[in-house]
């Protein structure tokens, strides 16, 4: 289960609260390929604590509510190292828009282009978000530079995927210009039917 290993990975860097894990870890770094909501994070923290892979301490605060700070244990570090040596299966890819396109014969070409344009806009927006992030510009200690380069590799994958989607959508739109429209096919089918003896 990669969510628990992602949490172990973040806690191997430094202790964090559940809120910090959501806002400073997942949302700021890996949300483009492994999103997690707050409830999932807290449920997983509870499981990791039960397994002895992390432990928590209450940090007292005078002007704010107390914080529950989680840290990785030696057993947690061992579990993370073991998992890092495994080869994950290929991900199962589910995408609602591809199902819409697959059955797009029910729509006119102009309707399909509208759908493709909507997807294009979404991928262009996501690409713009990724391209504003420069992991390697973040201040760091010399021993953290290798880690930042590995982080940058995952960001590069997100950028490449968005560019691939944009190119693919443009290719689909160009292909649609060469295809007969739904009503043309219906007219042809009707005329062929009336021509029969």
How far is 116 from 175, CA to CA, in rounded Å? 12
Please check the confidence at residue 170 and state whether its pLDDT lies above 60. Answer: yes
Contact assessment for residue 119 and residue 169, using Cβ atoms and an 8 Å cutoff: yes
Residue 197 confidence class, pLDDT cut points 50, 70, 90: very low
Q: Where are the alpha helices (DSSP H) in the chain?
A: 2-13, 18-20, 38-50, 74-84, 96-102, 109-132, 145-176, 182-195
Contact assessment for residue 155 and residue 135, using Cβ atoms and an 8 Å cutoff: yes
Domains and CATH numbers, the chain: 2-84 (1.10.10.10), 96-192 (no CATH)
- Supply the pLDDT for residue 41: 95
- Supply the pLDDT for residue 138: 72
pLDDT tens across 53-103, in order? 999 999 988 888 889 999 999 999 999 999 999 999 998 889 999 999 999
- Supply the pLDDT for residue 95: 93
CB 162: neighbour CB atoms within 10 A? Answer: 21
pLDDT tens across 15-50, in order? 999 999 999 888 888 887 888 999 999 999 999 999
CB-side exposure of 133: number of CA atoms within 13 Å? 21
CA neighbor of 114 nearest in space, from 96, 100, 126:
100
| CB burial string 36-69: b at 16+ within 10 A, e below | beeeebeebbeebeeeebbebeeeeeeeeeebeb
- The predicted model gives 178-196 an average pLDDT of 66
Contact assessment for residue 54 and residue 72, using Cβ atoms and an 8 Å cutoff: yes
Helix (H) or strand (E) holding 56: strand 54-59
CA neighbor of 7 nearest in space, from 20, 19, 21, 23:
21
CB 129: neighbour CB atoms within 10 A? Answer: 12
Please provide the average confidence, as pLDDT, over all residues in the chain: 89
């Amino acid at each position: 289960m990669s969510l628990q290993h992602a949490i172990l990975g973040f806690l191997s860097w430094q202790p964090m609260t559940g809120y910090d894990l959501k806002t400073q870890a997942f949302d700021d770094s890996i949300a483009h390929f492994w999103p997690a909501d707050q409830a999932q994070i807290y449920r997983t923290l509870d499981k990791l604590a039960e397994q002895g892979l992390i432990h928590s301490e209450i940090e007292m605060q005078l002007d704010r509510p107390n914080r529950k700070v989680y840290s990785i244990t030696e057993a947690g570090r061992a579990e993370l190292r073991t998992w890092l040596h495994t080869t994950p299966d290929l991900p199962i890819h589910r995408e609602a828009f591809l199902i819409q396109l697959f059955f797009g014969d029910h729509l006119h070409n102009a309707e399909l282009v509208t759908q493709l344009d909507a997807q294009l806009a979404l991928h262009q927006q996501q690409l713009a978000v990724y391209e504003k992030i420069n992991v390697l510009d973040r201040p760091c200690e010399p021993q953290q530079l290798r880690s930042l380069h590995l982080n940058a590799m995952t960001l590069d994958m997100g950028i490449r995927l968005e560019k691939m989607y944009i190119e693919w959508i443009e290719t689909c739109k160009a292909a649609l210009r060469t295809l007969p429209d739904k009503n043309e096919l219906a007219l042809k089918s009707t005329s062929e039917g009336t021509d029969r003896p």
